[in-house]
Structure 1
Amino acid sequence: MQVDLWKVLEAFLENFNVNLTLISSKEDDITKFDLGIRKIFGNQNTYEKIAAYVCDTCESRKLYVLQDVFETEYCMFCLPEEERSVGNYCLIGPYQNEKVEENWLNELVQTHKIPTIYMGELQEYYQAMPILPNYQEFKECLVSIIRMLYKNEGKLEICYLDHFTWTEELTAPENQEESNLSANLIEERYKIENDLMKAISQGNIDAALNATARMSSFRIADRFKEASRNYRNFLITANTLYRKAAEMGGVHPYLIDKVSCALAKKIETVCTRAEYSHFNREMIRRYCMLVQNYSFQKYTPLVRKAMNYIELNISQGVSLKNLSEELNVNASYLSTVFKKEMGQTVTEYINQRRVEIAILYLNTSSMQIQDIAFRVGICDVNYFSKVFKKITGMTPTKYREKVLSATKM
């Protein structure tokens, strides 16, 4: 199997949230390569000069490492001939290997005589900056991928260019409306956040995970010095947003609250960034699955109320009679409307849900069959076995034996 090394490079950089900008010629528009910071501190032709610099500087089999006036790092290289269908030159960055401290930022402002009204713009820029704590490993992997792009033929020379290689000066804009980086970044973050909530409300796991990957390129300002406390705070906020998204998706608040409370307890065990990232993705999957399994949004209010009542009272021996009494509607009318929308009778739906919940207990616990029957609202274990077999084709005992047999394999 042949590996597409260009896609490997793209995936590698995406994993670190590092920008990859392709340049074909000096005339290319590269205004997005630096998150738009130069639109504030320089003329528009600064981007044209940088594109020209990349095209004039890059030579085959050379990887250039340089810093700009903002003291952020970039890499650039000339693509091999066989890869030039995507572009001629590759510009990677910006990124840093450690978080910017306030004292350092103040020195940058003083050195370049930047008006203090633009401090917010700079802070937002550095907040969005990818941080590479394992910088050396990142660079080694990057070099290895680029060498493979060149098919390991010959040596790849690494060139460290002079500090502030791109000749540019920081000047405040004449029109403050042009210095809208902070607002633009916040607006983009909110848009992605809305995309994430929409995906969860639809139970779309892939779209939700894609949105959260895009969100990770925005670093929200820390509230505490202790990193683990910041991770937990972010997860607490995310848990609140995700549960509201699930509610928008038509899931009953009672069911959402059960999941939310369980996740809230686990949040307090998160300590590292890796644990934070993993748990955030797990929360997204949990809420999406909740919407997939329990969203009644597409049904009429009456049927929705009936389904919610069944879900919340399944262990109480719910029936068409007490359901119609609870909803204050005629039992015959409820039965007709329910079957029209659901394609099955109320009793069939109740039994289906009982069996689905019973299967969950059989798969995940060692509870006795009679105890499981009681948990799903059936006191007669023989009747429970009859209902279970009618829906699954086997008795609960046979089903458990099948599960245990599969586990031992």
Structure 2
Amino acid sequence: MEAMLRDIEDIEYFSKLIYETVHIPVFYINKDLEVITGFPAIFTSNPIYPSYDELFTQLDFFNDPLHVPVLRTTNFLENFISIKVGNNDKFEGAWILGPSVYSPIAEETIYGLLNDFQVRISGDTLKEYYESLPVINKLTLLHAGLLATYLLYSKRLSVTDVIQKDTMLTNNVTIEENPDLHVSKNRQEISFHASFQWEQMLMQCVKEGRKEDLINKFVVPESEGKPGVLSKKSHLRSEKNLAISAITLATRYAIDGGLHPEMAYTMSDLYIQGLEDIKSALEVQIYLREALCDFTDRVNEVKHHKYTTPIIECQSYIFKHLYEEITLVQLAKVVNLHQNYLSALFKKEVGTSITEYILKQKVEEAKKLLTHSNYPLSEIYTWLNFHDQSHFTKVFKKYTGTTPKKYKNQCLKP
């Protein structure tokens, strides 16, 4: 096989075979980092890298073991499988599978990367590049590496045999100062972090939907210690980091209290993003209190409705698939119950039929879109699977007492 790989026709054959099998770009490069062949023939390279040479150098596969797939993820979220080729430990070339991404890259992430690394290219250019990449989840990518290795060398490996590395990141991650010395200093000064018990009491308020108790316990009593310092260079940054930690904890406790995970995580994302625009430590404290109160209020709303597991699973499915057509047959399969039994159980516990519940949820979603976006009515009712505008208006008026247009106009009034 080693001799075969030196033949350009064989290299092209294997490159094409791998590409057509796993649908990921494949390149073979020699020891001088020259691309011998690749599929597809025309491929959009990352505009961040001036040349393939720089990319290949940053992938740094020179010290990899021979004939073993290595998974790498760059700082720019690209994933590559590399397989170093050689004979008697002498480097002859490498197969590169990639780039790919695990999921579509959001526009906010793209602009965040440009800002983090101070890259001087347009966001649209980088967005176009990411949209050209195949989306392949991690397990599939690992299997692609195993398949390529077997095709090339008849070498059987498992997923655990694939070496995984993060490129362009340091491996020397250490704590700058000794935590033992810090604890000793705190003991000498009788100055400790806020107690775990206080934190638990606060978060238990979130979990149980007790807003008044949350507000009363929000400020750490002196007897309970003091908040940590999460940035030595900036007090504001430290306060923001503490708030991020608290919001993260509240998210988990809210989910444990019954708030739908997707809602909880979305709230967490938005509140943490909002922290970055705050200019003073006092504002951070006020903002955090409002965030925790919001989580608590939403948990409290959920607490009023205690349903059995099948009903909760149905509601969760409806929540996630609201923009799709949802039928009783689908829901019955989800919870593994007979359609008639599920229909009767849902009506008994929720107080309304499944159809009515779905329509109400769609109307609630439409109200949010009408209030917080500029999407035209035609798009909103199409997204929510209404037959036409007349049907949408009829259903909307049934549950709100007004038409979508009038509702939107009322929301626009100061």
TM-score by length of 2: 0.51
Q: Does 1:376 align with 2:389?
A: no
Q: How far apart are the structure 2 equivalents of 1:369 and 1:293?
A: 29
Partner residue, 2:245? 237
Q: Kindly state the Cα deviation for residue 190 of structure 1 after the two structures are TM-superposed.
A: 2.8
Partner residue, 2:189? 123
Partner residue, 1:305? 313
Q: How far apart are the structure 1 equivalents of 2:288 and 2:341?
A: 44
Decide which of 327, 333, 350 is 2:335's aligned counterpart. Answer: 327
CA deviation profile, 1:143-199 (whole Å, cap 9, x unmatched): xxxxxxxxxxxxxxxxxxxxxxxxxxxxxxxxxxxxxxxxxxx5xx33332222121
Q: How many residues align?
A: 232
Q: How far apart are the structure 1 equivalents of 2:313 and 2:204?
A: 23
Alignment of 1:54-203 (within 5 A): 120-121=186-187, 123-125=189-191, 189-203=195-209
Q: Kindly state the Cα deviation for residue 302 of structure 1 after the two structures are TM-superposed.
A: 0.5
Q: How far apart are the structure 2 equivalents of 1:194 and 1:387?
A: 44
Asked if the contact 2:318–2:358 (Cα under 8 Å) also holds between the matched residues in 1, the reply is yes
Q: How far apart are the structure 2 equivalents of 1:391 and 1:302?
A: 26
Q: Kindly state the Cα deviation for residue 215 of structure 1 after the two structures are TM-superposed.
A: 5.4
Quote the RMSD (CA, aligned, Å).
2.9
Q: Kindly state the Cα deviation for residue 384 of structure 1 after the two structures are TM-superposed.
A: 1.2
Asked if the contact 1:231–1:272 (Cα under 8 Å) also holds between the matched residues in 2, the reply is no
Q: Does 1:254 align with 2:235?
A: no
Worse-matched range after superposition: 235-244 or 224-233: 224-233
Q: How far apart are the structure 2 equivalents of 1:223 and 1:260?
A: 19
Unaligned runs of 5+ residues in structure 2 are 1-182
Q: How far apart are the structure 1 equivalents of 2:300 and 2:382?
A: 26
3-state secondary structure, aligned to 1:213: coil
Partner residue, 1:221? 228
Asked if the contact 1:249–1:297 (Cα under 8 Å) also holds between the matched residues in 2, the reply is no
C-alpha spacing 1:195/1:398, structure 2 compared with 1 (3 Å): same
- Structure 2 letter corresponding to 1:212: F
Partner residue, 1:56? none
C-alpha spacing 1:212/1:376, structure 2 compared with 1 (3 Å): farther
- Structure 1 letter corresponding to 2:189: Q
Asked if the contact 2:203–2:253 (Cα under 8 Å) also holds between the matched residues in 1, the reply is yes
Q: Kindly state the Cα deviation for residue 267 of structure 1 after the two structures are TM-superposed.
A: 2.9
Identity across aligned pairs (percent)?
27
Q: Kindly state the Cα deviation for residue 379 of structure 1 after the two structures are TM-superposed.
A: 4.1
Q: How far apart are the structure 2 equivalents of 1:243 and 1:363?
A: 25
If asked which structure has higher relative contact order (CA below 8 Å, sep 6+), I would say 1
Q: Kindly state the Cα deviation for residue 234 of structure 1 after the two structures are TM-superposed.
A: 0.4
Unaligned runs of 5+ residues in structure 1 are 1-116, 129-185
- Structure 2 letter corresponding to 1:249: G
